[in-house]
Amino acid sequence: MAAVTLLSTTGLCKNFDGLRAVHEVDFELPEGQVRALIGPNGAGKTTLVSLLCGRIAPSAGRVRFDGRDISDLPAHRRINLGIAYTFQITSVFADLPVAENVALAARRRLRGAAAVAEAVQAALQRVGLHEPPEQNAGDLSYGHQRLLEIAMGLAQAPRLLILDEPTQGLTDGEIDAFKALVRDLSATTTILLIEHNMSVVMEVADQVTVLNFGEILAEGTPDQIRADAAVQAAYLGTG
């Protein structure tokens, strides 16, 4: 039986003062899949993610989530539908404690202090963040702020989790733990992963989409993408 499409775009475009950042992107993400989005710097990956999340409006084209056209919905409405995302640059509340950062995210869907506290503890444990919950988020290392962001996303129990460069700043051991986390999450959550670390992409992704100059260059399994001559020339550096 064919997988249900959870997120899709049709003819999606974004121009900035004449610069074509994203052009005519038709994209489908089935429910339950781990999809990696890769490409050279400046390929338009973060712009595309911002269009999916509602942080910026498209110049043309449509975005659909679970069969619903969400092209005109602001970011907070998309979060309420079950889309959670982390940014390439951390967006934690530096002056608030670690636990309160996660609690703010959990309160989007939960009522009651006990339920929120339980969700906070579960999310922090799941990402392997063991710093004292009362410690200010701004005092964490950059890599651990990334883990805190993921915990904030998980506390929302999203149907779609979008992660922009989540392993940046992590140690090798933390990257291994992140790979295990993605494999664990994939049983219940659809994941879109923007990632430069190709070992992460090749190990955790079911399918890979390659973006270049704002357009989709190739799509396929990790092995297919690794063997694609156009991808090698444009991105992997082996062409």
pLDDT in tens, 157-201: 999 999 988 888 889 998 998 999 999 889 889 999 999 899 999
163, two tokens = 């992660």
Task: Decide if 33 contacts 52 (C-beta within 8 A).
Answer: no
Topology of the domain covering 1-82+162-239: Rossmann fold (3.40.50)
Strand, helix or coil at 30?
Answer: strand
Q: What's the pTM value of the predicted model, to 2 decimals? A: 0.89
Residue ranges per structural domain of the chain: 1-82+162-239, 92-157
pLDDT tens figures, 134-152: 999 999 998 899 889 989 9
pLDDT tens figures, 9-64: 999 999 998 889 999 999 999 999 999 999 988 899 989 999 999 999 999 999 99
**How far apart (Å, rounded) are the C-alpha atoms in residues 115 and 149?**
20
